[in-house]
Chain A
Amino acid sequence: MRDSDRKRYLASLTDKLVNGQMGRRDFLRLAGKLGLGAGALGMGMHRSPYSFVPSAQAQEALQPSAETLKWVADVSKPFAGTTLKLATESTPPSNALNSQLKKYFEEASGIKVEIEVLPLEQVLQKLTLDVASSLGTYDLYYIDQSWAAAFNGDVFDPREQLQKADLAMPNYNIDDFLPALVDGVAMFDGTMVGVPYDIPIFIMIYRKDIYDELGLKAPATMAELLSNSKAISEAKGPEIAGIAGQMKSGHYSLECEWTSMLWGHGGSIFNPDGKFVGNDEQGIAAMEYWTELKKYMPAGVDGWTWDGQGQAVAQGVAASMLSWGEFFPYFDDPTQTKISGLCEVAVPPAAVSLRTKEQTGFGETPGVGHQGGSTLAVSKYSKNPDAAWIFMQWATSADTQALITALGGGTGPTRSSVYDDPRVKANARVGAGTTRHLPVVRETIANHMGSEPDLVEWAQISSDTIPVSLGKYFAGGYGSPKEAMDDIASQVDTILKG
């Protein structure tokens, strides 16, 4: 039996064991045939009650490549004893690295890695302080796509670092990163601000059982998204709403949802002259559509970020959402939600019309699949940039990313090859940490992805100016969508003028 088939079969067996579809005796018998021997025998006794990843899989299939670790050991000798620090958002990849995987790197390299896991806004505060002081308290930066412009110049371009032949990981293959992500997440003004590290992206998640019951199909267009949501709300409301939103006033999540609506109606945030054009004809059409769609969202949606939105679907209060694909493995987890196995995914609905990148400003790329990716980069202020570069290559290598995806709860990989990795495909079944949504994530990245503009002021505009005014609009603070968008245009204008 080929190694990949063996791993897949083992994953299937352990999945059945975990879900109670197979007895321990049968499992051990079949696992024994796979040659697991004593390692598997011990599994049942010592399996952590917390890990959703079956231990046999963790022990057998989910181990870093020996070849990669040998390279780490060889290249890290001069840096043994060094301590590296990284501040990162609490994302599935960072958590998987921190709690499961970095120990392999540390053992091989003798380099200690300290990962500080924080909410996103606290990461921004820490990085800003580090850059302003040039103290190099962190060796690696986790950079959200909306900060790329702000931290451009404070990190090394990985393409330059790859030129150091003595530190280059064999087969690192920087071209394996999905080109759309390199362009949309990492590139600013010709500089590569780190390599794509994670990729939360909007996909369509819907309750298949409710859709089937009402004879609906996954929405292929924005009009269908509205009509489906309306049909569900009318048939199942008020207990179940057609769709959930992330519409908390003043929160970045509101801006994320707005961009999806705007781009989906042929609008854009900026024009090629760098002028805010969310108040043009398409922008107003988007606002009118969104206002109508909100009627089919649960009460209280104005107070929800993506957290509340996800909870609404998880608890069966809403039948669909156009939101971060990262939520899908959580929905599939029977210990966490009441809808395990009931949801399906689809690419985002097609836009009414779509502007090209050339018709927008500041590198904005319209697409209904709003992306919120991030990069990992070595700080220019780091006192150990070479050691940090070694860690960064290992952490973003195809082998490590496959482990992150399998261990980290089905998060979307940023490398093309990882989507085809047997360890990742083995988890494509209903259950915790599923990867069965990843083909849709991959297609959305390739064909439906929308990226926000890159400009230094964007963090302020996207996290404050726009969501505060949109919140005011939905609270009835403006007379019309046009009035709201004109006000935003005027505020953005003032910010850009400095």
Chain B
Amino acid sequence: MHQSASTRTLRTIAGWVVVGLFFFPIYFWTSVAFRDAKDIFNWPPIFFDFSPTFKNFEQVFGISLGFGFGNQTAVTPGGGNFYMAPRLLDTIIVASFSTILAIVVATLAAYSLSRMTFRGRHDFVNWVLSTRMMPPVAVAIPMFFIFKQFNLLDTYTGVIVVHGIMNLPLAVLLLKSFFDDIPAEIDESALLDGASRWTIFRRIVLPMAKGGIAATAVLCFIFSWTEFLFVLTLTQTSIKTVPVVSSTFVTSIGTAWGNMAALGAAAIVPAFIVILLVQRHLVRGLTMGSLKQ
């Protein structure tokens, strides 16, 4: 289709405006992480003209330029102690293992739902979906009691299990739709050639659904990475994830915005790396099923 030069220019400008709209909050938040407290609140606001400092990162991650690494236990001005490096590690562990748990269980369940016919199959799918309809706050407190009974409070296992369960319905439904898009004739041909269901699943269907699995895993990872309520309710001092510890920067004498931004900016990195790692499969996964034959 022919486009005039002015239309092309307008489209380009519109594209950059949209990119800017998404990018600006990330830039501004990250820039706050590199500012002294007195440079954060200014009127009119300062976007570029400030003296960068690593102080917030030093306080949050214990990375002292010239002093090496270490646990920064000193009380910072205002009375806070904002050493959060272990909490970032907690978040990586919880998000990674809960994603693995959800994906392992969901791929098996989704393949069964996609390929096998059994009584109540559609009801089962609806039931899986319905578990997402209950507000998390309604189950958080009963879970607290159950987890206390099983000594799972304040443990990695407890939070990983909860996040895994939380992501399971979404993962099952998404993966089922990806498996549905793979023609069942392929399975049937392989069956005729003597392959078992497990072989077909492992050797044929899984590789073909790689893109979909990657997209689902990224979503599970991000949902776990940002989940707040269950972690708040089911943990105490042993483990905590980034969203929950971010709230501890809100102190009785104000909010440590610079430290909060440092943790927030750093917390983007692992999620970004995960997305980069699966990017190749992601685009394909996100567009899978968009064309029906």
Contacts and interface: CB of A to CB of B under 8 A. Distances in A.
A binds B: yes
A49 B42 CA distance: 26
Interface in A106-163: 114-120, 122, 125, 129, 133, 135, 137
A335 B83 CA distance: 19
Interface stretch (A94-102, A223-231, A416-424): A94-102
Contact of A306 (B75, B144, B254): B254
Interface in A384-404: none
A324 B238 CA distance: 32
A495 B253 CA distance: 31
A407 interface: yes
Interface string A366-382: 00000000000000000
Task: Give the interface residue-count category, chain A.
Answer: 35 or more
A333 interface: yes
A90 interface: yes
Contact of B237 (A116, A122, A326, A433): A116
A310 B254 contact: yes
A472 interface: no
B74 interface: yes
B272 interface: no
A85 B238 CA distance: 11
A255 interface: no
Interface in B225-257: 232-233, 236-238, 247-255
B30 interface: no
A336 B252 contact: no
Contact of A95 (B72, B233, B251, B254): B251
A148 B284 CA distance: 58
Contacts of A93: 79
B41 A137 contact: no
Interface string A40-56: 00000000111111000
Interface stretch (A267-275, A311-319, A478-486): A311-319
A99 B42 CA distance: 31
A242 to B, nearest CB: 17
A51 B145 contact: no
A395 to B, nearest CB: 15
A335 B42 CA distance: 15
Interface string A81-99: 0000101011111011011
B280 interface: no
Interface string B30-49: 00000011100111000000
Nearest to B240: A116
Interface string B47-77: 0000000010011000010010000111111
A343 interface: no
B141 interface: yes
A362 interface: no
A441 B168 CA distance: 55
A67 interface: no
A137 B247 contact: no
A24 to B, nearest CB: 16
A408 interface: yes
A124 to B, nearest CB: 12
Contacts of B76: 50-52
B153 A119 contact: no
Given A119-B250, A137-B236, A336 B37 contact: yes
B81 interface: yes
A411 B77 contact: no
A90 to B, nearest CB: 4
Contacts of B251: 89-92, 95
A338 interface: yes
Contacts of B247: 118-119, 122
Nearest to A330: B78
A12 interface: no
A411 B80 CA distance: 12
Contacts of A95: 75, 79-81, 251
Contacts of B74: 48, 50-51, 99-100
B253 A92 contact: yes
B37 A53 contact: no
A408 B148 contact: no
Contacts of A116: 236-237
Interface string A195-213: 0000010000000000000
Contacts of B75: 51-53, 95-96, 99-100, 407-409
A125 B72 CA distance: 29
Given A119-B248, A333-B77, A315 B254 contact: no
A89 B144 CA distance: 21
Given A336-B78, A408-B79, A117 B254 contact: no
11 contacts: A89-B251, A92-B253, A96-B79, A114-B238, A125-B232, A135-B148, A137-B236, A324-B252, A335-B38, A336-B36, A409-B78
Interface of B: 36-38, 41-43, 55, 58-59, 64, 67, 72-81, 83, 141, 144-145, 148, 153, 232-233, 236-238, 247-255
Given A87-B236, A337-B38, 6 more contacts: A49-B55, A95-B75, A307-B254, A314-B41, A335-B77, A336-B77
The 8 closest A-B pairs by CB, nearest first: A92-B79, A99-B81, A51-B74, A409-B79, A114-B237, A90-B251, A91-B252, A336-B37
